[in-house]
Structure 1
């Protein structure tokens, strides 16, 4: 069922416009809100946080079907769900889960991920960016480039 829903959406709402988005260097922000309404942005996130509460197979099916229509949109979904939402789900305190996940799953917010550094590339072992615990929380120092 999820495959059919995503395939139909990708065929109608992504595939006809992907080339134009690429040529214009534009990203269809409103598309994410549409996908959020359909549950495609929070596939593996529990319903209590605004997600669909499905498994990783369903997440992979969403990636596969959207990727058929446009790899850029698929990459955005992958970062949003796998790198942002699931990291928050696993490591954040409950109040941050409740504050962030519903907005990410709905498409109201777009998450991002910063790994690449000028001197380390995409090698996490060579990263120079470091958090320092302070009295009020943390200070994060370093440089990132090519944020996904």
Structure 2
């Protein structure tokens, strides 16, 4: 698969975040059926929420491949 530089940057950024901020706690969150608001807030700050929503409506206006890359990295974490 050939990614654009922007897509690679998004993937790498979310991979780092997931490995540092999600993976160490994922087992505990699964056992407790929780996902902390702080982690969700951080995902929003990284631009992982509203990625494909047009900019005119407050989103990032990005492509679906970028969204797929973000979802993959979050799931891996």
TM-score interval (norm. to shorter): 0.7 to 0.9
Name the structure where strand makes up a greater proportion of residues: 1
CA RMSD in angstroms comes to 1.1
1:64 positional shift: 0.8
1:62 positional shift: 0.6
Q: Which has the higher contact order (CA 8 A, sep 6+)?
A: 2
Q: Distance in 1 between the 2:65 and 2:11 partners?
A: 11
| Aligned residue pair count | 69
Normalising by structure 2, report the TM-score.
Answer: 0.81
Segments ≥4 residues shifted beyond 6 Å: none
1:47 positional shift: 1.8
What pairs up with 1:74-89 in 2 under 5 angstroms? none
SS at match of 1:67: helix
Normalising by structure 1, report the TM-score.
Answer: 0.44
Q: Distance in 2 between the 1:54 and 1:21 partners?
A: 29
Q: Distance in 2 between the 1:13 and 1:50 partners?
A: 25
Name the structure where helix makes up a greater proportion of residues: 2
Tell me the equivalent position of 2:62.
54
1:30 positional shift: 1.9
Q: Distance in 1 between the 2:26 and 2:32 partners?
A: 10
Q: Rg bigger for which structure?
A: 1
Tell me the equivalent position of 2:17.
9
1:48 positional shift: 2.1
Tell me the equivalent position of 1:22.
30
| Unpaired runs of at least 5, structure 2 | 1-8
